[in-house]
């Protein structure tokens, strides 16, 4: 078995499992980047998405000033291509973390890159909640917090899980791009040890691992989304 792998995937085996260049290390790095930026970006995205829906004209607490401000922030950040954002944001990263390189440093652009994308999807998901339900809850004297947590977020939860899945998958793509500028992870392995050294076998295996990762996320996401949906019999 090992000789077979050595014969067909010599460079893959050479990288090993542990150590700085190991496969295990890069998988863990990818998961690390994905998890933390999904968490931070997710929280920011939900907050911004909720604020958009609540403050928009005709929302439950309309506020033109806040709506326009948040809307512009999200639109502008979404418009910046991620690869440019990586460079553009580095002074801010320096300010927050006192470093511009490494796994933690990359969390800043990843979070800023993903949250506007997520916020827009949260906005759409919450908008899909039937206006009648909003009205009914208001007629019961529900407070703004009730409206946000018990009506909007709760009623849209299956949709929120679905868009979270899509967002995490996009995020894994972004971590690969971050890897290309040296942040580590499977993207880094594919580019630095594969592509740049003409080790096609490394590139192929790194790509396959990313695909498997994405499929796992998709399956888990679909499972939860279906379990949370009670809209139909």
Contact 60, 144 (CB under 8 A): yes
Q: Which is nearer to other proteins, 103 or 158 (CB)?
A: 158
Q: 170: which 2 tokens?
A: 């996009």
Pick from 32, 36, 47, 146 the residue near other proteins by CB under 8 A: 146
Minimum distance, C-beta of residue 157 to other proteins, in the bound complex (Å)? 6
Q: State which of positions 30-49 bind other proteins (CB under 8 A).
A: none
Minimum distance, C-beta of residue 48 to other proteins, in the bound complex (Å)? 23
Contact 89, 131 (CB under 8 A): no
Pick from 143, 196, 200, 226 the residue near other proteins by CB under 8 A: 143
Phi, psi of 101 (to 5 degrees): -120, 165
Q: What angle do CA 124, 130, 136 make, to 5 degrees?
A: 135
Minimum distance, C-beta of residue 53 to other proteins, in the bound complex (Å)? 17
Q: Which is nearer to other proteins, 56 or 189 (CB)?
A: 56
Pick from 79, 95, 141, 198 the residue near other proteins by CB under 8 A: 141
- DSSP secondary structure of 88-155: HTHHHHHHHHS-SSSHHHHHHHHHHHHHHHHHHHHHHHHHTS-HHHHHHHHHTT--HHHIIIIIIIHH
Stretch that binds other proteins, among 66-74, 79-87, 129-137, 189-197 (CB under 8 A): 129-137
140 in contact with other proteins (CB under 8 A): yes
Q: State which of positions 204-233 bind other proteins (CB under 8 A).
A: 228, 230-233
Q: Per-residue string for binding with other proteins, 155-184, x by CB under 8 A? A: x-xx--------------------------
């Amino acid at each position: 078995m090992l000789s077979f792998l050595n014969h067909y995937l010599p460079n893959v085996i050479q990288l090993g499992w542990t150590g700085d260049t190991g496969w295990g290390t890069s998988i863990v790095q990818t998961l690390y980047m994905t998890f933390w930026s999904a968490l931070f970006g997710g929280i920011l995205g939900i907050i911004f998405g909720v604020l958009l829906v609540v403050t928009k004209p005709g929302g439950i607490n309309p506020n033109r000033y806040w709506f326009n401000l948040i809307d512009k922030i999200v639109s502008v950040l979404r418009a910046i291509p991620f690869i440019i954002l990586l460079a553009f944001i580095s002074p801010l990263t320096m300010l927050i973390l006192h470093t511009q390189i490494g796994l933690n440093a990359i969390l800043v652009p990843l979070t800023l890159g993903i949250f506007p994308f997520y916020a827009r999807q949260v906005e759409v998901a919450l908008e899909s909640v039937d206006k009648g339900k909003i009205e009914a809850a208001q007629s019961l004297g529900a407070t703004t917090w009730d409206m946000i947590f018990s009506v909007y977020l709760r009623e849209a939860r299956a949709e929120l899980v679905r868009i979270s899945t899509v967002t995490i998958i996009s995020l894994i793509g972004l971590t690969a791009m971050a890897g290309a500028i040296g942040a580590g992870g499977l993207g880094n392995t594919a580019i630095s040890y594969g592509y740049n050294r003409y080790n096609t076998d490394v590139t192929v295996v790194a790509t396959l691992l990313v695909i498997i990762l994405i499929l796992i996320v998709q399956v888990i996401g679909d499972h939860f989304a279906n379990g949370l949906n009670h809209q139909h019999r």
